[in-house]
Structure 1
Amino acid sequence: MANIIYLKIEGKNQGLISSGCGSYDSMGNKWQKGHENEIFVYELNNAAERIDNVAYQPVEIRKPIDKSTPLLLSALNENEYLTCTFIFYRTSENGGMEQYFSIKLTDAKVKNIRMHYPSSITHNEYQPEEFISFTYKNMLCEHLKAGTSAYCIWESQLF
């Protein structure tokens, strides 16, 4: 079963970019009570590999068009430093949702934004969405339930 992922973004200049992103005004009938100041993430992809040295790739997300869309475009335009905290939820043993994993990117920047606006004539079942990729200086991954973590530094990243 897929997990639910939320994202909190704090910008050096803009402050809490994710403020109000999960509200009714931002998301319409898809808003989530208790997550009004977080961005709903449909999908997250990241990669790292080692040949001689570790090579990190940008973190890419897919998310709905929401209140953060113009703010993230501004962050790209202004080359703004961001702190991005991804919070992962899974179904607990008693059927509720539990936070169990997190990824925190520090000194992150928006690298790329791709927007997808499907036509209601040819793709009526799809909603507008965007793909955002982030470069970062540091990444902290934590399994909150199992008590494990890793800290990675993207040393070759030029800021």
Structure 2
Amino acid sequence: MPLPGNITIIGEEQGQIEGSCETDGREGTIQVLKFDHCVEIPTSNDGITAGRRVHRPFTISKETDKSTPMLFQALCTGELLSEVIMDWYRIDGTGEQELYYTIKLYNALISKVRPWVPDILDQSKSAYRHMEDVSFTYEKIIWTWEPDGIEFEDAWGEMA
């Protein structure tokens, strides 16, 4: 089973949008329980590329926590987020957690906050709490494979 990710959000107006994570070394970050993102190149019906790459919103799912009002503030005021940094951890060969993958967004905006509660009568959902999905759009993204320092960056407005 994957470990939760942790996200740090730095706003131009609010500064760091602090989350409720209390894990050693990750205090104040926002714990990410689910993540979805897509970069794609449109294709025609015959499989030929039909345009430039498209960066879809970067969406996380998290528990409602102390960052929630600040995320709504950033959404409603259009606050520019200078950095959004998501760190992913895994268990290494010694049984310890290690940072192995990082995604950084630059000049991001929150495009959607969607609070939700699972069906409380469905016992398979009993571990869920009050949740929310937060979607970001961004100017630039950097993907980094931490063990080897391999990275790639893309800015959606630039030609590939």
Aligned-pair distance for 1:3? 3.1
Runs in 1 of length 4+ with deviation above 3 angstroms?
Answer: none
Aligned-pair distance for 1:36? 1.6
Q: Which residue of 1 aligns with 2:106?
A: 106
List gaps (5 residues or longer) in structure 2.
43-50
Q: Which residue of 1 aligns with 2:23?
A: 32
List gaps (5 residues or longer) in structure 1.
23-30
Is the 1:45–1:59 contact (alpha carbons within 8 Å) kept by the matching residues of 2? yes
Q: Which residue of 2 aligns with 1:46?
A: 37
Aligned-pair distance for 1:32? 2.1
Structure showing greater Rg: 2
Instruction: Give CA deviations for 1:19-69 in whole Å, capped at 9, x if unaligned.
Output: x522xxxxxxxx423322100000111001113211110100000111100
1-side partners of 2:5 and 2:87: how far apart? Answer: 6
Q: Which residue of 2 aligns with 1:72?
A: 71
TM-score (norm 1): 0.86
* SS of match in other structure, 2:25: coil
Q: Which residue of 2 aligns with 1:25?
A: none
Instruction: Kindly tell me the number of residue pairs found equivalent between the two proteins.
Output: 146
Percent identity between the aligned chains? Answer: 30
Q: What CA RMSD, in Å, does the superposition of the two structures yield over aligned residues?
A: 1.6
1-side partners of 2:26 and 2:151: how far apart? Answer: 25
